Chains A and B, each alone.
Chain A
Amino acid sequence: MSSDVDINAAAGKFLKLAEGHLAAYAEACVKCGQCADACHFYVASGDPRYTPAYKLFPMAKAVRRQKWPLAWLGLAPRLTRDDLAQWEELLFDSCTLCGRCTIVCPMGIDIAGIVSASRQAFVAAGLGPKDLLQAADNARDKGSPLGVTPSVLAERIDWIKDEHEVEIPLDKAKAGILLTLSSVELMKYPDSVAAMAKLLNHAGVDWTLSSKGYEATNFGYLAGEMDIAKVMVERITAAAEAVGAATVVIPECGHAYGALRWSGANLLGRPLPYEVLHITEMLARLKRAGRLKLRPTEASITYHDPCQISRRGGATAEARFLLDGFATDFREMSPTGNYNWCCGGGGGVQAIGRAAELRYQAFKIKMDQVEKTGAKTMISACSNCRLTMDESKEHWKWQGGLGSLVELIADHLAEPEAKPAQAR
Chain B
Amino acid sequence: MTLLDAARGPVLQLALAIFAFGVAWRLSSLLLLPFARDKSLPRTGAPPAAFAALREILRRSWPQKSFGRASLFMTVNSYVFHLGLALIVFAFAPHILFIKSLFGVSWGNLPNNVIYAVAVVTVASLAAALIRRISNPVQRIISTFDDYVAWFVTLLPVLTGLAAASHLIARYETLLAIHILSVALFLAWLPFGKLMHAFLVFVTRGMTGAYLSRRGAQL
Chain A interface residues (CB < 8 Å from chain B) = 19-21, 23-25, 27-34, 36-38, 42-43, 48-49, 51, 53-54, 67-70, 102-104, 106-110, 113, 261-266, 268-272, 275, 311-316, 338-339
Contact = CB atoms under 8 A, between A and B. Distances in A.
B33 A108 contact: no
B98 interface: no
Interface in B120-154: 133, 136-144, 147
Given A24-B200, A28-B197, A266 B36 contact: yes
Interface stretch (B3-11, B38-46, B108-116, B166-174): B38-46
A378 B206 CA distance: 36
Q: Which 5 A-B pairs have the closest CB atoms?
A: A314-B216, A37-B68, A108-B205, A265-B39, A314-B215
A316 B205 contact: no
A28 B204 contact: yes
Interface string B187-219: 000011010110011011111110110011111
B213 to A, nearest CB: 9
Contacts of A27: 26, 30, 196, 200
B22 to A, nearest CB: 7
B202 to A, nearest CB: 9
Nearest to A17: B36
B79 to A, nearest CB: 10
Nearest to B70: A37
A261 B40 contact: yes
Nearest to A56: B142
Contacts of B64: 104
B76 to A, nearest CB: 12
B89 to A, nearest CB: 19
B192 A70 contact: yes
Contact of B208 (A48, A67, A109, A272): A109
B103 interface: no
Interface residues of B, number: 59
26 contacts: A21-B207, A23-B30, A24-B200, A27-B30, A28-B200, A31-B144, A33-B70, A33-B136, A34-B67, A36-B70, A42-B138, A48-B138, A49-B141, A53-B142, A54-B141, A69-B25, A107-B201, A108-B57, A108-B207, A265-B40, A265-B41, A266-B36, A314-B212, A314-B215, A314-B216, A315-B216
Most A-side CB within 10 Å, residue of B67, B71, B143: B67
Interface string B44-75: 00000000000011001000110111110011
Contacts of A53: 142
Contacts of A110: 207-208, 211-212
Given A24-B207, A314-B217, A106 B138 contact: no
A133 to B, nearest CB: 25
B43 to A, nearest CB: 5
Nearest to A272: B41
Contacts of A37: 67-71
Given A25-B204, A104-B71, A312-B217, 11 more contacts: A24-B200, A27-B200, A29-B142, A33-B138, A51-B142, A69-B26, A102-B208, A106-B78, A108-B206, A312-B212, A314-B218
B50 to A, nearest CB: 15
A108 B208 contact: yes
Nearest to A264: B40
Given A27-B196, A37-B67, A106-B78, A271 B217 contact: no
A362 to B, nearest CB: 16
Given A31-B147, A32-B78, A34-B75, A109 B216 contact: no
Nearest to A258: B215
Contacts of B141: 48-49, 51, 54
B29 interface: yes
A263 B142 CA distance: 30
B35 interface: yes
Contacts of B35: 20-21
Contacts of B137: 48
Contacts of B211: 110, 113
B217 A313 contact: yes
A33 B74 contact: yes
A79 B215 CA distance: 34
Contacts of B70: 33-34, 36-37
A266 B36 CA distance: 9
Contacts of B191: 69
Nearest to B61: A106
Contacts of B142: 29, 31, 33, 48, 51, 53-54
Contacts of A28: 196-197, 200-201, 203-204
Contacts of A104: 64, 67, 71
A48 B140 contact: yes
A30 B30 contact: no
A51 B138 contact: yes
A298 to B, nearest CB: 30
Nearest to B64: A104
Given A32-B74, A42-B138, A314-B215, A69 B22 contact: yes
